[in-house]
Amino acid sequence: MTTKTARRQCRGCSSRLAADNRSALCVRCVRRRHMATAPVLPDSFWDVEELYAAFATRDFGRVLRAYRRACGPDVRQSDVARWLGITQGQVSRIERRHSLADDLVKVDGWAKALHIPQRCLWFTLTIESHDAYQSVDDDPILPSSHREEGDEVRRRGFLKVVTTTGVGVVGGSLLTGSESRRQATASPNTVGNADVEIVREMTKAFRTIDNRHGGGHGHVRAAARSYLESTAEPLLRNGRGRSKTEAQLLCASAELYQLAGWMSYDTGHLADGASYLRKALRLCNDAQDDALTAEMQAAMSHHAAFFSQTNEFLSPNIKAQDRVHGAGSAVDLAMAARQSAKRSGLWALQSETAAMEAHGLALQKDRKGSISALRDAENHFSRIAGQESPAWLGYFDAAYLSAKFAHTLRDLGLTRDAEGFARRSLEMNDGYERGRLFNTILLASIVAEQGRVEEACFIGEQAVQMAESVRSVRVIYNLADLGQRLAEHRNSDIVQTLFRKMSDRGIPTPTS
């Protein structure tokens, strides 16, 4: 009679051991127990949206939690505890914010233990003789031309990114030539006020075109990127310093990177847009400019909110779980922006960032929190009078804030309250044709949600006509979203007329 041998279990995780495994541990536990230190992860790992949002909050507990999630189920709290030299219970309390990690000496050591790059942190890592981390100033905007181990792979990756932007790249082989090496080791050039002013004037010119016609015009986007790569980035590489002028250069370049991020966002290249905004945020941190830092964090929150709203009809490749994470990231980034805005002392910026948090909370269906944030935005806005704002914040006014209120109230289901703000948002200054188009579509969507189909279609047809002069993927998304809101009335003549006009413009409809 044959007896069945009992399957042995791993002493580490209780999983079943393979029949040919003679040890007391499974392969995974053996590997984990032999890993006394945290793995060195690729640079791209740290650009995961959830991780970046956690870094923006300056809360190491959130960073730890996001780090473990990004690593996957194989990394447990006990693993992180071993790498940090603390207990699993301490890791749990830090992640749940029951034990605040506000001791920078400890956080500095933990960041090094997890091999977190300096560019991600809100403080400067202490320098040790054998430290493998780069300081902020050692993190170039473009890859170095020196041929060190692994550099060839990074160089090929960089060329691949650049050649997809539509801007011609000439002399790629020179990246490893003697001339390139001489430039890399050359003394920094002196950057004057004229250099900074030229960067700002060019950014202003590109922004004017972008606001009027959208970022989808290829030649305009290519020109902006070309100027960024040929002029602004060399100034940053070869003209770094500690003077007031250098800080102004960092801020002026950050504004240009931000514009490039919005243009990428306008063409549907969300990853490129996020990359540009991250670079802009680093420059703001280098310049220690809280106001501009808040502006970049608010822009990133806006991107995350948009990402979370793209539904299956518009973006079938985006998972529902990723959309939920997008809404969470929008809130985290808005909270970080509010902290930076508060430090800046600018009421307009505090109002804007509070409105961004309100919208993110609305997407999470947190009605109480969202309304509270809207009240904060209104209170801050009432205190703007008499306070001078920077030129880059000139777009923020009652019409802009009204649009944010309308978006938030619509997504909370309060469409009657949202309608008044949507109509107020159309009382905007000239020169913002794209914004006027967005707000027109917003009003149409709110009216559609109230069941006023004929009026919604009338406003929608106005928006389709306005879209002829604006190139923006966001316009397509928003009009397609309007179509979804009218889908249940698709058999009515007036809705079919609107859908035909949308289809003629290449905008997807529920019937196409």
pLDDT at 247: 86
Provide the pLDDT confidence category of residue 190 given band limits of 50, 70 and 90: low
Q: What average pLDDT does the segment 285-290 reach? A: 91
Q: How confident is the model at residue 399 (pLDDT cuts 50, 70, 90)?
A: very high
pLDDT at 407 over 70: yes
Domain spanning 43-120 has what CATH number?
A: 1.10.260
Range name among 109-123, 217-231, 243-257, 357-371 with the lowest pLDDT average: 217-231
- pLDDT recorded at residue 164: 39
Convert the pLDDT of each residue in 327-368 to its tens digit: 778 899 999 999 999 999 999 999 999 999 999 999 999 999
pLDDT tens profile 29-73: 655 555 668 888 887 788 777 787 788 777 888 889 888 888 877
Contact 253, 288 (CB under 8 A): no
Residue 47's Cβ-count burial label (10 Å; 0-12, 13-18, 19+) is: middle
What Rg value do the Cα atoms of the chain yield, rounded? 26
What dotted CATH number matches 403-511?
1.25.40.10
In sequence order, what are the residues at sequence separation of 6 or more whose Cβ sits closer than 8 angstroms to the Cβ of residue 148?
Answer: none
Compare 386 and 348 and report the one with higher pLDDT.
348
Coil, strand, or helix at residue 464?
helix
Phi and psi, residue 207, nearest 5° = -65, -35
The model's pLDDT over 420-463, given as tens digits with 9 standing for 90+, comes to 999 999 998 887 888 899 999 999 999 999 999 999 999 999 99
Residue in the block written with tokens 């790569």 = 229
Does the pLDDT of residue 137 top 80, yes or no?
Answer: no
Considering the chain, what is the average pLDDT of its residues? 78
pLDDT at 11: 59
Over pLDDT 70: what percentage of the chain?
74
Residue range 293-306: average pLDDT?
Answer: 90
pLDDT-based confidence at residue 417 (cuts at 50, 70, 90)? very high
57, 60, 65, 71: CA torsion to nearest 10: 100
**202 against 222, higher pLDDT:** 202
| Domain chopping of the chain, boundaries | 43-120, 403-511
- 227 or 365: whose pLDDT is higher? 365
Residue 45, pLDDT score = 81
> How high is the pLDDT of residue 149?
40
Report d(CA 341, CA 72) in Å as an integer: 34
Which range is most confident: 261-275, 285-299, 466-480?
A: 285-299
pLDDT at 425: 94
- Average pLDDT (227-253) is 79
Q: Which comes out higher in pLDDT, residue 255 or 190?
A: 255
CA-based nearest residue to 199, from 147, 240, 236, 157: 236
pLDDT score for 242? 52
Ranges 139-153, 223-237, 258-272, 401-415: which has the least confidence: 139-153
Q: What is the DSSP letter of 9?
A: B
Pick the closest to residue 257 from 239, 231, 238 (CA basis): 231
Kindly give, in sequence order, each residue whose CB lies less than 8 Å from that of residue 132, ignoring residues fewer than 6 positions away.
115
pTM of the model: 0.63
